[in-house]
Amino acid sequence: MNEKDDFSTDNQLNLRLRGGYEKLAEKILKNGCPFCNLKEKYILAEKDGLVLTVNIFPYIDGQLMVIPRRHIKSFEEVTVEETVTNYFLSQLAITLLREELGVKGVWMLLRDGGLGSESGKTVEHLHWNILPYTDSLNTWHHQELSVTPAEMAVRLRSKIDK
Ligand SMILES: [Zn+2]
């Protein structure tokens, strides 16, 4: 498959549901980081080194992303200035989704950690997903607990430098 086929309308609209996305992502990543080479036609806004863009293989109509131009992998690398810029671009994203698509609820998702089963992300370049909410897409699978919240607070508080 050539690059034109990879990003065909059919792939963009159906590949996630067909189950071929992971394989294509693997192929795309071999050609370098896609988020370091964002195409202008997908970008909605840019501010101070961050862009607001559509996701080209979205989970749902209207899935947007905020992506720093610089290639960073972890939330721990994000600066205060980038956090402030993300705030403005995320507000813009939510406003656009509400006004243009009539989206009522939004989830914001940052996956921090390694690829695949480590964090669920396929592109390591840091990105914040802004997802229109629906019950059928955003489903929790609650886990069996082994620590009470109060015990967890004690444990974690003890690690914070006073
Ligand atoms: Zn990158």
CA 155 / ligand 1 centre spacing (Å): 36
**What is the per-residue pLDDT across 121-149, written as a single tens digit (0 to 9) for each?**
889 999 999 999 998 888 889 999 999 99
Q: Please report, to the nearest 10 degrees, the dihedral formed by the alpha carbons of residues 113, 115, 118, 120 taken in order.
A: 100
Highest averaged pLDDT of the listed ranges 12-16, 29-33, 103-107: 103-107
pLDDT at 160: 95
Ligand 1 (ion): residues with CB under 5 Å are 33, 35-36, 71, 125
CA 48 / ligand 1 centre spacing (Å): 17
Measured distance CA(45)–CA(117) in Å, rounded: 31
Edge-first strand order for the sheet with 50-54 is 43-47, 50-54, 64-68, 128-132, 106-110
Fold of 32-157: HIT family, subunit A (3.30.428)
Q: What is the residue whose two structure tokens read 């396929």?
A: 122
C-beta separation of 90 from 130 below 8 A: yes
pLDDT at 6: 86
Which pLDDT band, with edges at 50, 70 and 90, does 58 fall under?
A: very high
**Per-chain mean pLDDT for the chain:** 93
CA 38 / ligand 1 centre spacing (Å): 9
**What is the per-residue pLDDT across 77-127, written as a single tens digit (0 to 9) for each?**
999 999 999 999 999 999 999 999 999 999 999 999 988 889 988 899 999
CA 95 / ligand 1 centre spacing (Å): 27
- The domain limits of the chain are 32-157
CA 56 / ligand 1 centre spacing (Å): 16
Residue length of the chain: 162
How many Cβ atoms sit within 10 Å of the Cβ of residue 122? 17
pLDDT at 2: 62
pTM for this entry: 0.90
